[in-house]
């Protein structure tokens, strides 16, 4: 813990960074490694998360606020367009965008699309991170770094740094933190010390429920589930050593056929989703949870501005 009650040290730097990259590039794992506590949900998430502070790195010499954006994708629905606008807006508001390129995979059209889009944003520093270096040979890493450099030249992107790291092996994670802090503007801490994330608990809880609900039906319903936590609070009249957190959440699907998939035969699937999500929420918040889930139909919510607003987009 750092104590800045007497003011912050001279030369202190603070600012925002976000990791971008193709699905499974290792963004969440890297965020966790930098922050040092597991907060982010690491698995493939469809592109419906809103921008959220994922973690805060507190250091003697600076503070890094890591924000997350949904993945950029070719818009087919109103939701897709809104999300892409949100991605561009986030990129222009952060100090550094770090593009992750997994070292065990070749750079592809998806990476090129992303870097080309990113090149349109002015005034943001870009760095490239070659992730998962533990999965590649030194020769391969060398080639990969050259490919990243070349991609930069072809897209008119000036990489302030190109850094190879392995979040899993812990290689160069410290160096990456040093570089990121060094690229932040001078200024006071943006968040009080000790905050690992300011993502509202409801958002994290909703994400855990969504993850559980999508498990196994991702192919059928990849973008058709939204979760809204309607109410969350400690139950009254409980002894202090036996708290119970009540959570009421709605799972929105677009059509009644999807409702059937989510609920399952005689409600079996929804019960399993509830059990999985409850265990994860309890692990996250450290409190026993009573989870009440309801499945509702919000017809074609991805195309309806009113529904989107209600769901927080």
Ligand X SMILES: Nc1nc2c(ncn2[C@@H]2O[C@H](COP(=O)(O)OP(=O)(O)OP(=O)(O)O)[C@@H](O)[C@H]2O)c(=O)[nH]1
Tokens of 187: 């200024």
From the list 162-170, 194-202, 209-217, 262-270, the region that binds ligand X by CB under 6 A is 162-170
Tokens of 22: 């193709």
CB of 94 to ligand X, least distance (A): 17
- Contacts to ligand X from residues 28-67, by CB under 6 A: 28-29, 42-45
Tokens of 2: 């750092």
Residue of the chain from 78, 160, 168, 284 that contacts ligand X (CB under 6 A): 168
Task: Tell me if 42 is assigned to a ligand binding site.
Answer: no
Say if residues 148 and 126 touch (Cβ distance below 8 Å). no
Q: Which helix (DSSP H) or strand (DSSP E) does residue 89 occupy?
A: helix 78-93
State which residue, 170 or 192, has the beta carbon closest to ligand X.
170
Residue of the chain from 8, 17, 18, 27 that contacts ligand X (CB under 6 A): 27
**Residue by residue, what is the 3-state secondary structure of 210-277?**
HHHHHCCCCCCCCCCCEEEEEEEEECCCCCCCCCCEEEEEEEEECCHHHHHHHHCHHHHHHHHHHHHH
Task: Tell me if 190 is assigned to a ligand binding site.
Answer: no
From the list 305, 313, 74, 43, the residue with the least C-alpha distance to 203 is 313
Count Cβ atoms within 10 A of the Cβ of residue 69 and give its class: 0-12 exposed, 13-18 middle, 19 or more buried. buried
State which residue, 15 or 46, has the beta carbon closest to ligand X.
46
State which residue, 21 or 152, has the beta carbon closest to ligand X.
21
Residue of the chain from 61, 93, 117, 134 that contacts ligand X (CB under 6 A): 134
3-class DSSP state for residue 98?
A: strand
Residue of the chain from 17, 18, 25, 227 that contacts ligand X (CB under 6 A): 25
How many chain residues are in contact with ligand X, going by CB under 6 A? 19
Tokens of 179: 């570089």
Residue 166 binds to ligand X (criterion: CB under 6 A): yes
Residue of the chain from 13, 132, 210, 269 that contacts ligand X (CB under 6 A): 132
Task: Tell me if 131 is assigned to a ligand binding site.
Answer: yes
Task: Tell me if 300 is assigned to a ligand binding site.
Answer: no
Q: Which helix (DSSP H) or strand (DSSP E) does residue 162 occupy?
A: strand 159-164
State which residue, 27 or 269, has the beta carbon closest to ligand X.
27
Q: Which residues are within 8 A (CB) of 131 and not within 5 positions of it... i.e. 6 or more apart?
A: 21, 25, 26, 30, 100, 101, 102, 103, 165, 166, 167
State which residue, 42 or 124, has the beta carbon closest to ligand X.
42
Task: Tell me if 270 is assigned to a ligand binding site.
Answer: no
Q: Would you give the binding string for ligand X spanning residues 81-120, x where CB under 6 A is met?
A: ----------------------------------------
State which residue, 199 or 263, has the beta carbon closest to ligand X.
199
The length of the chain in residues reads 313
Question: Which residues of the chain form contacts with ligand X (CB under 6 A)?
Answer: 21, 23-29, 42-45, 131-132, 134-135, 166-168
């Amino acid at each position: 813990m750092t104590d800045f009650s007497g003011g912050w040290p001279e030369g202190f730097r603070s600012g925002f960074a976000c990791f971008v990259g193709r699905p499974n590039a290792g963004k969440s794992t890297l965020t966790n490694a930098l922050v040092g506590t597991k907060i982010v949900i690491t698995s493939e998430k469809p592109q419906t998360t809103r921008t959220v502070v994922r973690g805060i790195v507190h250091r003697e010499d600076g503070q890094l606020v890591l924000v997350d954006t949904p993945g950029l994708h070719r818009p087919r629905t109103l939701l897709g367009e809104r999300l892409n606008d949100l991605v561009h807006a986030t990129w222009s508001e952060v100090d550094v965008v770090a593009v992750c390129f997994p070292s065990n995979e070749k750079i592809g059209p998806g990476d090129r699309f992303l870097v080309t889009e990113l090149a349109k944003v002015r005034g943001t520093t870009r760095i490239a991170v070659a992730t998962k270096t533990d999965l590649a040979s030194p020769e391969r890493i060398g080639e990969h770094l050259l490919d990243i450099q070349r991609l930069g030249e072809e897209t008119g992107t000036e990489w302030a740094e190109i850094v190879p790291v392995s979040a899993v092996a812990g290689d160069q994670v410290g160096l990456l933190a040093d570089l990121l802090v060094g690229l932040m503007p001078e200024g006071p801490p943006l968040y009080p010390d000790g905050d690992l994330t300011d993502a509202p608990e409801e958002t994290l809880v909703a994400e855990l429920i969504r993850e559980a609900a999508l498990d196994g039906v991702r192919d059928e319903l990849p973008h058709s589930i939204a979760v809204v936590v309607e109410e969350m609070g400690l139950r009254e009249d409980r002894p202090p050593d036996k708290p119970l957190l009540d959570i009421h959440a709605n799972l929105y699907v677009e059509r009644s056929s999807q409702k059937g998939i989510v609920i399952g035969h005689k409600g079996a699937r929804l019960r399993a989703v509830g059990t999985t999500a409850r265990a994860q929420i309890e692990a996250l918040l450290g409190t026993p949870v009573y989870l009440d889930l309801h499945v509702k139909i919000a017809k074609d919510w991805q195309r309806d501005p009113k529904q989107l607003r209600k769901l927080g987009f």
